[in-house]
Structure 1
Amino acid sequence: MSVRKREWTTPKGQKKSAWVADYTDQQGKRHLKTFKLKKEADAFAATASVEIREGTHVADSASVTVEKAGQFWLTSGEAAGLERSTINQRKRHLKFHIEPLIGQTLLSKLTVPAVRDFEDRLRWEGRSPAMIKKVLGSLGSILSDAQERGLTVRNPAREMRARRKGDKRHEGRHRARLRVGEDIPTREEIKALVGVLSGRWRPLLLVAIFAGLRSSELRGLRWQDVDLEGRTISVRQRADEFGEIGRPKSEAGERSIPVPPMVINALKEWKLGYSRPVIGRDEDRNPIREDAKPNHLIFANGNGKVESHANIVNRGLVPTMIAAGVTVDTGERDQEGKPILKAKYTGLHALRHFYASWLINRQADGGLGLPLKVVQERMGHSSITMTADTYGHLFPRGDDADELAAAEASLLGA
C-alpha cells in the first residue's frame, strides 16, 4: 500500500494534482484510488490495509450500488418465505424512499455521514419520523444482507444506530406513552360503545374489546377456536392483509384467552343467526345459510371469505363510535351550521389498548389487576419487555399516599 502525489496538465494547460492510494487487494488485484487531499488518502490506506490483512476489503470496482443490493435483499426475503405483506413493504421502502435518494451510491462509499445525510434528506422531503425509522431499518437490513454476500464490509446504518444508543445525549428521549382518553378509550367510552353495539358488528367488537385480538386474528377466527362452554377463545391462525390464512406471527401469538359471559352470549346468538355463508334463497328470497361448521370463519364477509380490515374499521368501528358519541369536533360545520364530528378512535388497536388497560387496572377500578407476565400472555406479546415498554406505566403504583400511610402504621405499630 502506497500513497503518492500525482500531477498532470490538462489539454488547456491547467495544472492539476491529486493523491493516489496504490494497493493490491487480498486476491492479488491492483487498485488505484484517487483523493483530493493527502489526509483522505492516508486514512483510506490505513483502513484498507487492515481490511486486506483480514481478507474483508471490497474495492469500489467490486462493489455494487444500494439499488442493486436492495434487489438482492428482496430476493433473499422471497427465498426465505417472508409474508407477502413484508415483501411489499420492502419494495415500497426501496422504490419510494431509498432508490430516489441513494440508489446509485456504491456500498463502498456509503459511510455513517452519508447515512446521516440520507436521514436528513428524508426529513426535509416530508417523511414522518415513524417512516424515517422504518426506512433506516430497511437500509440496515439491505447492508446486512450485502455483508453476508461479501459486497460490503461495513453497515453504517447499524453503526449509526449503535452510536445513538450509547450516546448519553439521547438518554432523555423515549417513546411517547399511551394515554387514557387519547390513545386508550376510557371506561365511560367503552360503556357507551357497548351500549350501542348491534348486528354483525356486536360480536366482533365485543371480542376486540374483551379479548384484545388483533385485526388479523379476528379475521381469521373460526368456530373451532371458541369454547362456548369453557368461555375461552384460542388464537391459532390469522388472516393477513391479502386474506391469506396463516399461523400467528410468533409462538406467543398462539394463546387461549378467557372471556366474559357477554362475549359468549353474543357469539352464541351470532352462531344461531347470521355467521354462516349464504348458499341460496327460499321462495320469499330469504337467505338460506349453510350449517355452521368448525372451520367456518366467525366474522367472514357475505361470501364466507375473509373480511377486509378496512370494512371492519369503516363500516363497523367508526359508525359505532359516532353512534356512541365517542367523537371529536373536526372544527368544521355542515350546511345547517352544526359541528361535524368524527370518531375519536379510528383504529382497532385502540380497543386492544383498552383490553390491556382492563387487564392491568385494579379490581377496585373495574379492572382485573393481573400481573405483568399474565398480561404478556393474554396480549400474545413475544417478550415481557414489549409489554412492559408499552403498558408498564399503566400498572398501579405501590407508593400511593394512602398505601404508604397504612405501611407506616403497620411497621411502627401505630
Structure 2
Amino acid sequence: MASIYKRKGRKNWYIAYFFGGKRRFKNSGTTESKLAKQMANELEADISRGTHKEIKNASTVELYREYLIDKRHRKARTNKSERWPIKAFLRFLKERDSKFPRVSEVSKDDVRAFMKLRYDKKEAVTYNNILGIIKRFFAKAVKIDMTASNPADDIERRKQEDKEIKAFSDSEYRRIERASEGIPIYWMILIGRYTGLRLSEMVNLEWEDVDLEGKVVHVRNKAGHTTKNYKKRVVPLCAEFIEKFRAYYPALKENQTGYVFHPFKCIKAKEGSHYKTMEGRKYAGPGPKNTIVKVLRDAGVYEPGKCFHRLRKSFATSLKNKGVPIGIISEWLGHSSIRITEKYLADVSAWHPAIEQTTLEREESSEKSGNTFGNTFGNTQYGHFLPV
C-alpha cells in the first residue's frame, strides 16, 4: 500500500510504495497532503493494473551528462549558451540541499525560486530564453524516464515585445555608401545589401561560392561553419552588383581561392591613415560589427540593434515592395518557413513605399539596364526585382 510522509527539512510530501519486490520512494512535488494522498492512491491503482512505469532514480548530474550527449550534434556555440544556465540551476539546487538532488525530486517551486532569484529583474526575452533551456533540459529527463513530469512545464513565460528591425531607406543607404568608401567593410555592406546574407555567412564566404559568370552566390555548409538552419541555398546577383563587386579585385582571377573578406587594420601616419588587409585570414570576434557601427554613426543613421541584419531586411524589403512573391523571398533569405518571412516583413509598408510600376515596365527597364540573372535564374520572371 502506498503511503505519504515528510522528510526532515523538506516542504514537499513523499510517497512510499512497493514495486518490483522493492520498497521505493518518490517526491510528490506538492506541499498539500490531500493532493499527495490522491497521487499515492493513483500510483497504487496503476501498480495493481500493471500500467505503472518506474522512473529511474537518477541524479541531476547524470541527466546533465545525458543531455550533453544528446546535443553533441549541434553547434558548439549553441551548446555553450545552454550549458551555463543549466549549471547555474544545478549549483542553485546543490547550495540549497548541500548535494545534487535526484531528478524526480526537483519541483516546480524549485524552478520558480531559481528564476526569481537570478532572472526576476532581467528583460522578458532573457527570462523566456533561460526558462526554455531549463524546460528542454527536463524534457530530456521525461523522455528517458528519469522523471514523470517536467517541472518547468506550467511556469508562465513573460510577455515580450518584438523589437522592430528597421530597413534602410534608399537615401540612408546612399549615406552609408559614402561613409564607408575607402574602408574594406564597404564590400561587406554591399553584399549584405544586394544578397541578404547573414554576417556569419559573409565572413565564411569563399571565392568558390561566388559565381560571377553564372550571376549567383552559393550559401553552403562547410567545415567550421553551417548556416543557421543547415539549409543550403543559391542567391542570384544583379548586373549592378557584379559591376561594383568586380572593383573589389580589379584583376580578379578565375581560380581565386580562399575567403572573400579578410580582416583589416587602420594604419595611422602623418600623411594620413590607410587600411591594411590581412590576406589569408578570416574574421573572428566582433570586428565587423564594431566597424559597421562606426560607419553608421558617421552616416548619421545608427540605431542600437542588429546593424548587419538591417542590411538583410533592406534586401528583403526591396524585393517585397517590387512584387516578388514571399515564397521566393523566403528561399533567398534561407528562412525555414514562410511564416518567419511574413513576420519579418510585417512592417514593410512603413519603411519603403511600394513602387508603382507595372510588370511590363519593369521588364522593359530590366532589359535596358541588363539587370538579369545568369544561367541558373535566367528564365525567372523575378530577375528585374533585385535591388538596384
Q: Which has the larger radius of gyration?
A: 1
Deviations 1:6-65 (A, max 9, x none): 9xxxxxxxxxxx98744112x331135699864144133034336644332337xx2423
* Aligned position for 2:373: none
Task: Note if contact 1:48-1:57 (Cα within 8 Å) is conserved in structure 2.
Answer: no
Q: In the alignment, does 2:45 pair up with 1:70? A: no
| DSSP-derived class of the 1:185 partner | coil
Unaligned runs of 5+ in 2: 7-11, 95-99, 264-277, 355-388
Q: In the alignment, does 2:256 pair up with 1:270? A: no
Q: 1:147 aligns with which of 142, 151, 154?
A: 142
Q: Distance in 2 between matches of 1:147 and 1:304?
A: 48
* Aligned position for 2:111: 115
Task: Note if contact 2:26-2:104 (Cα within 8 Å) is conserved in structure 1.
Answer: no
Matches within 5 A, 1:147-166: 147-160=142-155
| DSSP-derived class of the 1:156 partner | coil
Q: Distance in 2 between matches of 1:378 and 1:21?
A: 57
* Aligned position for 1:93: 85
Task: With the length of structure 1 as denominator, give the TM-score of the two structures.
Answer: 0.67
Question: Which amino acid counterpart does residue 356 of structure 1 have in structure 2?
Answer: A
Structure 1 position 307, deviation (Å): 0.9
Matches within 5 A, 1:317-356: 317-327=292-302, 347-356=307-316
Aligned residues: 322
| DSSP-derived class of the 2:44 partner | helix
Q: Distance in 2 between matches of 1:297 and 1:19?
A: 62
* Aligned position for 2:232: 254
Structure whose residues are more often strand by fraction: 1
| DSSP-derived class of the 1:131 partner | helix
Q: 1:34 to 1:297 in 2, by over 3 A?
A: closer
* Aligned position for 2:187: 203
| DSSP-derived class of the 2:234 partner | strand
* Aligned position for 1:176: 162
Q: 2:21 aligns with which of 18, 28, 33?
A: 28
Q: 1:4 to 1:352 in 2, by over 3 A?
A: closer
Task: Note if contact 1:74-1:90 (Cα within 8 Å) is conserved in structure 2.
Answer: no
Q: Greater CA deviation, 67-76 or 34-43?
A: 34-43
Question: Which amino acid counterpart does residue 87 of structure 1 have in structure 2?
Answer: N
| DSSP-derived class of the 1:30 partner | strand
* Aligned position for 2:172: 189
Q: In the alignment, does 2:282 pair up with 1:306? A: yes
Task: Note if contact 2:125-2:160 (Cα within 8 Å) is conserved in structure 1.
Answer: no
Q: Distance in 1 between matches of 2:5 and 2:118?
A: 38
* Aligned position for 1:3: 3
Q: 1:206 to 1:21 in 2, by over 3 A?
A: closer
Task: Note if contact 1:177-1:390 (Cα within 8 Å) is conserved in structure 2.
Answer: no
Task: Note if contact 1:22-1:31 (Cα within 8 Å) is conserved in structure 2.
Answer: yes
Q: 1:48 to 1:185 in 2, by over 3 A?
A: farther
Q: 1:28 to 1:306 in 2, by over 3 A?
A: farther
Q: Greater CA deviation, 208-217 or 295-304?
A: 295-304
Task: Note if contact 2:165-2:305 (Cα within 8 Å) is conserved in structure 1.
Answer: no
Question: Which amino acid counterpart does residue 51 of structure 2 have in structure 1?
Answer: E
| DSSP-derived class of the 2:298 partner | helix
Q: Distance in 1 between matches of 2:5 and 2:75?
A: 53
